[in-house]
Amino acid sequence: MTGLPHARTSNYDVDKVRGEFPVLARSFHGQRLVYLDSANTTQKPVAVIDALSHFYSHNNANIHRGVYELSVEATNAYEGVRSRVAKFIGAENAAEIVFVRGATEAINLVAQTWGRTNIKRGEEIVLTTLEHHSNIVPWQLLCEQTGAVLKVAPISKDGDVIVDEFAKLLGDRTRLVAVSHVSNAIGSENPVQKLIGMAHHHGAMVLVDGAQAVPHLRVDVRALDADFYVFSSHKMYGPMGVGVLYAKKDLLEAMPPYQGGGDMIASVTFEKTTYNIVPHKFEAGTPNVAGVVGLGAAIDYLETLGMDNITRHENDVVNHAVASLENMPGVSIIGTPGRRISVVSFMIDGVHPHDAGSILDREAIAIRAGHHCSQPLMDFYGVPATNRASFGLYNSREDVRRLCTGIKKVQEVFA
């Protein structure tokens, strides 16, 4: 099984969708751009670009600080997006949404606040082989600081977490499980609800890296029962420099501040500072207000298209890509997970991925070539890097055809 059950979406007009992304109208080397690097960053629709322009043209002011109308407008816009994010991911309360710079900062925030407060020497943090560096390095740093121990759950050659082996790593010393919802490198969708339940049975908290899930799947953090869930705006058609940490409110209230400065305080004297209520306790300084407004526009855009429609369309495209690549001589797919979301990594016999990526660029095809910030996973598969095609809501079967034609040209160069 190479993906979720799917059917071609008859009422999904991908050409119309593509037309809403100005950069996709560009041509390179005489051909229209085929953008297959959405797992890295997504392109931005006119609706998001216009929201940023409108904010800076009409509403620009700092938030939470001014009594004048312009500042009130900016504050209302910013806090309105907090409520929209909460609804979008099924959070119970807008106070459970903390705005940060991205999923990476959100993970570091949890590690350096909840982690340093609650994880002691000899206690254990469990990860999986699939993790992005952003969900590895912060925990390694925490282990160095506290004396905690890092455990890694193995995966099968298909690229799925081996649930029985994961279970064996859990015990009385397990304090935290940190797991990706979807692998950025090979597209595996983890059974996160099941893994969360197993971890909770042992009294452990769970952080889910949802950066590669939120743009593609309907996510409900309460149904998952995630303690922490993180994602980035720029991977879901919003601006760069904005991300979200969802955390259960009681956890946020018990956590110490991550940074000190303006807006995260209730009162300051040289003798003592008292802190603001959550989530403001974790948002020191002037935030990326325009970026948050742009994130709100991205959520509106996704909901207008419909997450179920997006999922069906993208499943059709990625499964068509897998089937097409499987039929190409000299091409091998890295990882065949039971549930694949949006991503396919592959090798071309006798061609380093960096060379393949450069040749495909001459055909106006943008893929990712490298280790995808997942070096332990590359080591598991015994490769230094892969070619990665990652699909978004604007990609089509025609893009897959262009990719396969480009791969044939790569093979001709190295024949």
One DSSP character per residue, 306-356 reads -HHHHHHHHHHHHHHHHHHHHTSTTEEEE---SSB-SEEEEEETTB-HHHH
Give the count of beta carbons closer than 10 Å to the beta carbon of residue 84: 19
Q: pTM of the prediction? A: 0.96
Read off the amino acid at residue 230. Answer: V
* Residue found under tokens 């742009």: 294
Coil/strand/helix, residue 387: strand
Residue among 373, 380, 398, 404 flagged as catalytic: 373
At 323, the pLDDT band (50, 70, 90 cuts) reads very high
pLDDT single digits (tens) 190-224: 999 999 999 999 999 999 999 999 999 999 999 99
Do 47 and 21 meet the contact criterion of CB atoms below 8 Å apart? no
Do 161 and 178 meet the contact criterion of CB atoms below 8 Å apart? no
For 304, the enclosing helix (H) or strand (E) is: helix 289-305
Coil/strand/helix, residue 392: coil
Peptide bond into 279 cis (omega under 30): yes
What integer pLDDT is reported at residue 393 of this predicted model? 98
Domains of the chain: 14-45+306-413 (3.90.1150.10), 49-303 (3.40.640.10)
5 pLDDT exceeds 60?
no
The string of DSSP codes covering 203-247 is T-EEEEE-TTTTTTS---HHHHT-SEEEEEGGGTTS-TT-EEEEE
Mark whether 143 is an active-site residue. Answer: no
Do 51 and 294 meet the contact criterion of CB atoms below 8 Å apart? yes
Coil/strand/helix, residue 307: helix
What integer pLDDT is reported at residue 219 of this predicted model? 98
Q: Which of 243, 225, 251, 248 is closest to 117 using CA atoms?
A: 251
At 11, the pLDDT band (50, 70, 90 cuts) reads confident
Do 350 and 332 meet the contact criterion of CB atoms below 8 Å apart? no
253 pLDDT exceeds 70?
yes
Residues 6+ apart with CB under 8 A from 415: none
pLDDT single digits (tens) 52-91: 999 999 999 999 988 999 999 999 999 999 999 999 999 9
